[in-house]
Structure 1
């Protein structure tokens, strides 16, 4: 089937039946992430019958064609530390911009309370020439029920082995040989 040149595909996350504001909160988190400099796909809330549903453009489809993508989990199944996507970034020869993105996302996830930052929430895409890039961020959402689950503050992805109570120094040490101007990027996240 021929599709218009600017054809776009979307993912819709329907509002929960219990009327919890998860879709609205995900929209706010997406806006915060974009304001922090994180590469996000366009997203919006779509009201249907008085209920807001979260809609985001797909990064793995363009003009009706599938773009090859792999999650960190598919490339490195045991990846449980942010150093692992950094190693993959070097192996795939990603540009510095993508390495900086990994760092900014890591800092944002810790600052914004997104502890469900597992290896299926980081993806890489490959174009038709075989060049790899870090995909735009997705599932940027706080960890629900943190107040009911005392371990919800412990992150799925560690930072050099630590999963909670990180300091600015931990982030800077992590970035030592990987990110340019880490202090500036940390401030970028905090200056939302």
Structure 2
């Protein structure tokens, strides 16, 4: 591709100068249809340009010649439709997925901005622990659980008795409240 662009620059410069089309595809070479670089360079020389496509140009500001040769010529560029106005998206709050309690995906569903594995790794490498906590916990799916300090398993909070109880130990003496992402709680329960 890079070499093709260089040949296209030479061919288009020669084509504009001579008023002829140049066929510069690498696929036409065995059949003899493609223009050779040497032939394109000879056309450039006939019209007063350098053999290799580099030109000596003058500064538009000072009027003095630049201290280097510049390789230039007309070339085709396709403008893609990807515009910032079509892609920009931000969200303060919005809908969440029922199962995981995390923000929905996608701009069309007013979803959250994803912090994936690689982004998380970069944040860890820079030591931004509070930003990691905010992105992966507070802005995502915070949830309070009761954890037994004896067995380490999840318990539950009894709203009638207003006490925390461990399901395994059947007591509420060594149960602590802990905050973690809801997805983590789902993982522990499966």
Report the TM-score, using the length of structure 2 for normalisation.
Answer: 0.18
**Larger Cα Rg: Structure 1 or Structure 2?**
2
Taking structure 1 as the reference length, the TM-score comes to 0.18
- Highest RCO, 1 vs 2 (Cα 8 Å, sep ≥ 6): 1
